[in-house]
A and B are shown apart, each in its own frame.
Chain A
Amino acid sequence: MEQNKNEVLPGTLNLMILKTLDTLGTLHGYGIARRIEQISGDLLQLNQGTIYPALLYLEQRRLVSCKWGVSDNNRRAKYYSITRKGRKQLAAEIDNWRQTSAIMIRFLEHPEGGL
């Protein structure tokens, strides 16, 4: 059902990419996109192409590094991996995200808050 698929929240794609690279190590763009799809199941509607501008954003800030390599089935592809700076950023963002979501949940579940 289309309605149940969520758009990617602004800013969260970067976080997902970093987490993916942190977990799986070096990966090409397609691999990252597939992984994000798999983890989020059918809940998320991802336009795979959008990860490339996001990867560029991370690369410009040296949160990921990249180099060309050859894939399992002998295809040239660009491989990304997380940098030390990227890991630090990831840890910080995860904390941040946990806090935000905790606040949001408490707020929304509070008997006098929310709708």
Chain B
Amino acid sequence: MSWLGIFVHRLRAMVMKRKLDRELEEEISSHLEMQIEEHERQGMSPEEARFAALRKFGGVEQVKEKYRQRRSLPVVETTFQDLRYAARMLKKNPLFAAIAIFTLALGIGANTAIFSVVNAVLLRPLRYPNAERIVAIEELNEKGTRVQVTPANFLDWRAESTSFEHLAAILARTANLSAADESERINLAMTSANFFQVFGLQPQMGRFFLPDEERAGHDAVAVLSYGLWQRHFGGDPSLVGQSIMLDGQAYTVVGIAPAGFQYPDRTEVWIPPYQLVPTLGPQMDIQRARGFGFLSAVALLKPGVSVKQSHDEMTAITARLRQQYPETNNKRFDRVVSLQTYLVGESSMALMLLLGAVTLLLLIACANVANLLLSRAAARHKEIAIRLALGATRLRLVRQLLVESVLLGLLSGMVGLLLGWWGVDLMRKLLPVDFPRAQDIGVDLRVLGFTLLVSLTTGIVFGLVPALQSTNPDVNESLKESVRGSTASRSRNRVRSLLIVSEVALSLVLLIGAGLLFRSFLRLQAVELGFRPQNLLTFRLTPSGANFREDPQYINFYSQVAERLRTLPGVDSVGMINTLPLIKGPTTGFRVEGRPVLTQDKWPGVNYRNVSPDYFRAVNAPVLKGRSFDAHDNESAPLVVLVNQSLARRDFADEDPVGKKINFGGTRPDGQPIWFEIVGVVADVRSLELNAEPTPEIYTSYMQDPFAGMSFVVRSQVEPESLTPAVREAVRQVDREQPVAEVRRMEQIVSEAAAQPRFNSLLLGIFASIALLLAAAGIYGVMSYMVTQRTHEIGVRMALGAQTLDVLRLVVGQCLRLTLVGLALGLVCAFALTRVMTTLLYGVKPTDPWTFASGALLLSVVALLSCYLPARRATKVDPLVALRYE
């Protein structure tokens, strides 16, 4: 490669410039000496000899120049020159440099921080060997909402599909892991035997499941996460082959998963599925379970099969299943997506929004700095005009100015990176707890590359307009102008005005976006919860072990714990429920006695909740009609339920629900349906999500149908968390084997339910505030500059009799004109853009006029305030001084 050789040669020459210069000098002078000697030998006088030698040689300096140009890399050398010059210019104007760098650094830092999240969540591939071939198969209801996969459907998928190398089912739940002194509540996943093959993993130790181990009757085996093995068993290699106790049952550890693998969601132990829920075993009546979903499915695509192809195949399969089993499947659809998409879910929307917001912010910062550069270019106007007049090419000057702005951009990038680093830390703290892949967020090479790219681009973006502008080759006009000084170039002012207009427009878009998110967050906060979360401590008990085989054992345990808690000092009341409000729980369908019998898939759906009599008192949800449960509603009493207002409204529009009987599909051994009598109506509670209206709900009594896990709510007069030790002790006294899990204040649960909206509105609020500040600074700068430029004109006007008010009107009028154009443009853009936010809003339309109007108003006020100082300065112009100014 000869060009490479030449390049290396030239590069070397550039580095060793001084030495080579000396050598060239020496070579030429020795050449001349030799010629002179020769001439002298021919009889010339020394003087003559010297002149003749020089004449023969040609221009020494020209030769050197040509030699040097050929020797090294002129483009690089001049760039270095420009860089040195640029650095000197920045050092000469430290205030300018500081303001520009800080402004840009804000924009770049915000971009770095948001991009690091986008990078970790959306861009970085999952860290599994087979990552790009792993897909998730979702089961959807008719509204397109994700529901859980039913085992029967899963088995049909597995039997009929051909797109997948492995198709695995997962049932995620929790279990008590008991060791000698303490038990711990851990995340457990029951998986089909091929689960680990989907991910392409090799065990850290031992082995994964054998195909036979997913069938009923096989020995109980388990695979442990690396973390649990280290934490709980000290990384003891002899653990493989030994047994551990899960929910009071022994499991033989057959392998340890590789470090870091915890799919799904911080799983600590994997076991084959039949052992706790024998659904996948052959003896189970699978068809009955077709309508009851509790699985999720992941699969490994065969090489060469695309997500789309597998999706099409699955769609055909589920369509056939819908036909074959209309009762259970007519509302079940499916979708195949990459595992990454599946995990990220709806968070990507918010992230893209934030990325858009920081881009706007950076553009605003660029506009500001471009304005600064324009003002400074005005100061250097003469220098540039003279250089142009002396024959410098425009390209050369533009290049020099661009080198300056790129240097600024890079410096800002460095500061921005620091800000971003800090921002990333902040983001990790602010992100909702359940934000997907949050633990991966950090500054990696890609983020660094992104920041570098942004800095470079930024430097060119904000530098190009001023550079082109100030090297306008109309030398004549420029020279004239620099003499007159009073009338500024029209085109240059047009550029400034344009920058201000766009800055105002961009800020308004950000402001409106933030306003919409903030309004919907406020709406969420003001939502009628239907219960009082203050002073409520919650925790969860999921008793397990040999003592928990029959319903009465559960009832007994729960009652005893509740009894003990009630006697604790500071405790008002104690209730329990199978799933707490704002946490998704089981649903079911029902029919009403005496009404026409429909097929089961047409039964109205309800949330199914199981509570203790004191629950409603503890959470402060009033019973509106009939009665609440009491201690008599036990196993031997008639079955009773409570319904909520929504259900009463939907299913008993003009009837009194109290006294009606309903059935959930259960039958007695004699084939008769099991009837529950409605004994009361309870006020609505937001039981699923903050931003979802309450839906119909029924409550059964825990003494008639106890759940295997219950959440306790303890209403106290004291700080709820101060009760934690006493609560743990009370549970220990009842049964020391059972761990207390998920101890939280109810307020915390409410707050976590609003975490994503809070995060969105907080971040966008921060960005909008910065944008507002930058816009204010930009307007101030431009107006000040214009006032300075028009000092002469203002002086003339005042001399001719203009009053203070006229002058004010002149300046403020100009500012207002620009602002109004910007606002109009911003409103149009916002109108077009806020549509994409629809899914992130609650209770506010994306075109909410109130938000639009107040955003515009706020920005106008800020604009007026920012032009106040320049305007006042204009009124203080002394006509005499101004006229003498030239």
Contacts and interface: CB of A to CB of B under 8 A. Distances in A.
A5 interface: no
A62 B63 CA distance: 21
Interface residues of B, number: 28
Interface string A51-73: 01100110111100000000101
Contacts, number: 68
Contact of B2 (A29, A50, A53, A61): A61
A61 B57 contact: no
B27 interface: yes
Interface residues of A, number: 23
Nearest to A57: B70
Nearest to A32: B31
B31 A48 contact: yes
Given A73-B37, A75-B34, A47 B27 contact: no
Interface in B95-118: none
A29 B33 CA distance: 12
A77 interface: yes
Contacts of A77: 27, 30-31, 34
Interface string B21-57: 0011011101101110110000000000000000011
Interface of B: 2, 5-6, 9-10, 23-24, 26-28, 30-31, 33-35, 37-38, 56-60, 62-63, 66-67, 70-71
Contacts of B71: 56
A26 B602 CA distance: 103
A53 B66 contact: yes
A34 B24 CA distance: 19
B6 A49 contact: no
A53 to B, nearest CB: 5
A71 B59 contact: no
B5 A75 contact: no
B26 A76 contact: yes
Contacts of A76: 26, 30
Interface in A63-100: 71, 73, 75-78
Contacts of B23: 78
Contact of A30 (B9, B35, B62): B35
Given A49-B60, A49-B63, 19 more contacts: A28-B30, A28-B34, A47-B58, A47-B59, A48-B31, A48-B57, A48-B58, A49-B62, A52-B63, A52-B67, A53-B66, A56-B70, A57-B70, A59-B9, A60-B9, A60-B10, A71-B30, A73-B34, A77-B27
Contacts of A62: 5
B15 to A, nearest CB: 15
Contacts of B9: 59-60
Nearest to B34: A30
A47 B30 contact: no
Given A53-B67, A73-B37, A30 B58 contact: no
Nearest to B20: A56
A75 B2 CA distance: 34
Given A53-B67, A56-B71, A71-B30, A48 B6 contact: no
Contacts of B31: 28-30, 33, 48, 77
Contact of A47 (B24, B34, B57, B70): B57
A46 B127 CA distance: 70
A17 to B, nearest CB: 14
B130 to A, nearest CB: 51
Contacts of A49: 28, 57-60, 62-63
12 contacts: A30-B35, A50-B58, A52-B28, A53-B66, A56-B67, A56-B70, A59-B9, A60-B5, A60-B9, A61-B6, A71-B30, A71-B34
Contacts of A73: 34, 37
B54 to A, nearest CB: 10
Given A52-B67, A77-B27, A61 B62 contact: no
Contact of A78 (B2, B27, B60): B27
Nearest to A48: B57
B6 A60 contact: yes
A52 B56 contact: no
Contacts of A53: 63, 66-67, 70
A9 to B, nearest CB: 17
Residue of B2, B9, B24, B67 with highest tally of chain A CB at under 10 A:
B67
Contacts of B66: 53
A60 B31 CA distance: 21
B169 to A, nearest CB: 68
Contacts of A29: 27, 31
B30 A50 contact: no
Nearest to B56: A48
A61 B5 CA distance: 7
A23 B60 CA distance: 28
Residue of A50, A53, A71 with highest tally of chain B CB at under 10 A:
A53
A56 B35 CA distance: 21
Interface in A17-35: 28-30, 33-34
Contacts of B58: 47-50
Contacts of B59: 47, 49
Nearest to A61: B2
